[in-house]
């Protein structure tokens, strides 16, 4: 899918010259899929986060709530292909296209394109103020007692629900626990990425 960009009317000719396309039905400019280098469009992107390309995936898992002890669902947004920002490099492009699987936690900016789906299907996954900083962050909460289920436990060891391929139950990336969603455009998020070859086998299983 193409990437939506926010081009002021006064800059429309410049955007067009760089290869952006106006989609009349959606009333937006987009970077078409065949353009790999999106750096020329940087100033019209929402910020320095991640842009997730098709297929849009949701990893599903569950855990025992640390407070009420009931089994409660968890999700994380996932990608096979996405753009990330390389802010330090003076040699590489700023927006690097990454073509191996990853999932995202600690999201502080969620593309509005995802909000209706999250609200309807995964209401336990929501925006809450972080304990220490008060910054609004997307977290999994217990379906029964609404307590935040911390991502440290969810992701950081092989026995945890998002522990990836080494997880004995392989709960995260099994096909039945990987949902593909349909969106009109690629989406933008700001958060933390978990990536690497470690997760690849699990993504293969999902095919």
Q: Residues in the site for Zn ion, rule: CB under 5 A?
A: 65, 67-68, 142, 144-145
Q: How far is the CB of 65 from Zn ion (least distance, A)?
A: 3
Distances in Å between the alpha carbon of 117 and those of 102, 113, 162?
20, 8, 21
Q: How far is the CB of 146 from Zn ion (least distance, A)?
A: 7
Measured from the CB atom, the residue of 66 and 198 that comes closer to Zn ion is: 66
Question: What are the helix and strand counts (H, E) for the chain?
Answer: 4, 13
Q: How far is the CB of 89 from Zn ion (least distance, A)?
A: 44
Tokens of 158: 């092989």
Measured from the CB atom, the residue of 68 and 135 that comes closer to Zn ion is: 68
Measured from the CB atom, the residue of 69 and 204 that comes closer to Zn ion is: 69
Specify the DSSP element, H or E, that contains 192. strand 187-195
Residue pair 31/44 in contact (Cβ under 8 Å)? The answer is no
Coil, strand or helix at 145: coil
Measured from the CB atom, the residue of 65 and 85 that comes closer to Zn ion is: 65
Q: How far is the CB of 170 from Zn ion (least distance, A)?
A: 24
């Amino acid at each position: 899918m193409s990437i939506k960009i926010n081009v002021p009317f006064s800059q429309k000719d410049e955007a067009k010259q760089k290869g952006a396309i106006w989609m009349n039905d959606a009333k937006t400019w987009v970077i078409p899929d065949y353009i790999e280098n999106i750096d020329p469009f940087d100033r019209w992107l929402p910020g320095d986060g991640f842009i997730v390309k098709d297929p849009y995936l949701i990893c599903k898992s569950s855990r025992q709530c640390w407070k009420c002890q009931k089994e409660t669902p968890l999700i994380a947004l996932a990608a096979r292909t996405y753009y990330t920002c390389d802010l330090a490099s003076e040699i590489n492009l700023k927006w690097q296209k990454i073509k191996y699987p990853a999932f995202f936690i600690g999201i502080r900016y969620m593309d509005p394109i995802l909000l209706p789906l999250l609200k309807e299907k995964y209401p336990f996954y929501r925006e809450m103020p972080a304990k220490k900083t008060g910054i609004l962050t997307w977290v999994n909460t217990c379906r029964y007692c609404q307590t935040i289920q911390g991502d440290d436990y969810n992701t950081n060891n092989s026995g945890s629900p998002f522990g990836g391929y080494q997880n004995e139950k392989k709960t995260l990336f099994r096909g039945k626990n990987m949902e593909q969603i349909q969106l009109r455009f690629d989406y933008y998020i700001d958060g933390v990425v978990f990536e690497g070859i470690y997760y690849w086998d699990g993504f293969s299983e999902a095919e």
